[in-house]
Amino acid sequence: MYETEKTNSFSCASCGGRMIFSPEDQQLKCPYCGALKPFHVARETPNEYDIHFAPLEEDAAWGDATRVVRCDACGAELVLTGETSVKECPFCGSPRVQDGPGKAGIAPESLIAFQLTPKQAKARFRSWLRGRLFAPSAFRKKAAQGHIMGVYLSHWNYIDHAVSAYHGKEGRRYDVQLPVTVTDRDGKQRQETQPQKRTRWEPVTGTVTADFDDLMLDGSERLSEKLLSGVLPYHLSRLVRYSPEYIAGFGCEKPEVNVHEGWTKAQNMVDRRMAVLAREDILQRADEAQVLRLETEHTGARYQLLLLPMYMTAYTHRKRVYHVLVNGENGKVSGEAPVSVWRVLTAVLLTLAFLAGLYWLLVRYTGTNYMMVLFGGAMRGRAG
Ligand SMILES: [Zn+2]
Ligand SMILES: [Zn+2]
């Protein structure tokens, strides 16, 4: 799958410390002495794997000793290498994260490397937090101290060549002349014929084919679509071949949806698309179309596991979990924060007090009672 060096390739030549991936340098960097070590990843096109031979257990292609940790609170699993530690679960904020019995599973094929450093991500997060004026201060304080972790989120990408045989109906429109009674301007009734549209339906069968190479699915559904859409897009042109150096010091989300479950979902996406194609196929020769039955054969179905970089943090406030995401590639922030009723009320009262003060100043310095002008004018308007 990739070229790997010796297993000790992660230790620093100067001090022996374990090196981690540095987004700033796009190289391995020693967190203790700052030494850099470039690594090279073969530039071939990523592979796609036959869906029928997908391993579900340990996959040697991870390339470095991996371990799996599991959050006791929410059940999320992260694949880690080396001594990477997890202080808080990035999905729910719980500190109850322990080494679990699970295996790392299918290794990723390609990824977008982190471009943003953890320091930059924290700065983005803090400025987002400053903008949450109506969040309760306890939440803001807790969030500011919170731990933000770089996690590669897993995505399944499926490739499919679909051949669908369909049964349906094709409809041809024609006009019939029907007698109708019309009343003219003088109130007299007379018989006339008027054209009316009819459709003649005939059974039809056919075959449509299509190739799909980007059936992307989230590896798990722990984060809402709304939250995720706030940090998009990722530039898939930046995908590189997976190499264990990229994940050193970061976590990888272990997909909750396994490769076969994901494939079932992807097939549904294909089927919906094929039904549209079958309809369009009938409409090439007819005015109306109905697809009654569609049987799709998925030939050459293949998969890849992709990793996309995300800095994440989560906290519980009054039994609800709030997430904040910082895209590890483009730096966009998307988050949720509770709203304090008191803070909103205070803001409203302050605004009202300010307006009242302004009004008082106007009356005092211009000597005009604007209330009288406004309402007096309105009354005079009504009287006149
Ligand atoms: Zn070092
Ligand atoms: Zn958790």
Centre of ligand 1 from the C-alpha of residue 350, in Å: 55
CA of 271 to the centre of ligand 1 (A): 54
Tell me which ligand sits closest to the C-alpha of residue 17.
1
Virtual CA dihedral for 207, 213, 218, 220, nearest 10 degrees? 70
Cα of 166 vs centre of ligand 2, distance in Å, is 46
What number is the average pLDDT over the span 280-302?
94
Average pLDDT over residues 265-291: 95
> Which ligand does the CA of 74 lie closest to?
2
Domain boundaries, the chain: 7-164+205-335, 170-204, 344-383
* List of long-range contacts for 201-205, beta carbons under 8 Å, 24+ apart: 201/169, 201/170, 201/171, 201/288, 201/290, 202/169, 202/170, 202/171, 202/172, 203/167, 203/168, 203/169, 204/167, 204/168, 204/169, 204/170, 204/282, 204/286, 205/165, 205/166, 205/167, 205/168
Q: Which bound ligand lies closest to the C-alpha atom of 88?
A: 2
Residue 21 CA to ligand 1 center (angstroms) comes to: 13
Q: CA–CA separation, 244 vs 41, rounded Å? A: 10
Report the alpha-carbon distance of residue 325 to residue 127 in Å, rounded.
Answer: 13
Which ligand sits closest to the CA of 14?
1
Tell me, what's the pLDDT at 279? 96
Statement: residue 104 has pLDDT above 70: yes
The lowest-confidence range among 90-104, 130-144, 284-298, 347-361 is: 130-144
The pLDDT of residue 3? 40
Of the chain, the percentage scoring pLDDT greater than 70 comes to 92
Centre of ligand 1 to C-alpha 29, Å, is 8
Mean pLDDT is lowest, of 99-108, 191-200, 341-350, for 341-350
User: What radius of gyration do the chain's Cα atoms show?
Assistant: 32
In the reported structure, the alpha carbon of residue 15 is separated from the centroid of ligand 1 by a whole-number distance in angstroms of 4
- Span from the CA of 88 to the centroid of ligand 2 (angstroms): 8
Q: What average pLDDT does range 241-253 have in this prediction?
A: 94
Distance CA 148, CA 41 (A): 28
**Å from CA of 375 to ligand 1 middle:** 78
Q: Residue 105 C-alpha to ligand 2 middle, in angstroms? A: 19
pLDDT score, position 56: 64
Q: Are 89 and 313 in contact (CB under 8 A)?
A: no
So what's the pLDDT on residue 137? Answer: 82
User: How confident is the model over 331-354, as a mean pLDDT?
Assistant: 86
| CA angle 110–114–116, rounded 5-degree value | 160
Spatial contact of 183 and 189, defined as CB atoms under 8 Å apart: yes
Ligand nearest to the CA of 321: 2
Does position 343 have pLDDT exceeding 80, yes or no?
no
What percentage of residues in the chain have a pLDDT greater than 90? 57
28 CA → ligand 1 middle, Å: 11
Instruction: Identify the pLDDT of residue 14.
Output: 94
pLDDT band at 5 (very low <50, low <70, confident <90, very high): very low
Identity of the residue numbered 283: L
Nearest ligand, CA 13: 1
Cα 11 to averaged position of ligand 1 atoms, centre (Å): 8
User: What separation in Å is there between the alpha carbon of 337 and the centre of ligand 2?
Assistant: 18
* Ligand 1 geometric centre to CA of 35 (Å): 5
Looking at all shown ligands, the one closest to residue 10's CA atom is: 1
Condensed to tens digits (0 to 9), the pLDDT of residues 122-157 reads 999 999 988 888 888 877 887 778 789 999 999 999
CB of 90 closer than 8 Å to CB of 251: yes
Q: Distance from first CA to last CA of the chain, Å, rounded?
A: 89
Q: How confident is the model at residue 57 (pLDDT cuts 50, 70, 90)?
A: low
User: Mean per-residue pLDDT for 12-19?
Assistant: 93
Give the pLDDT of residue 374.
66
Query: Higher model confidence: residue 362 or residue 57?
Result: 362
The bound ligand whose nearest atom lies closest to the alpha carbon of 30 is 1
Q: What is the mean pLDDT of the chain?
A: 88
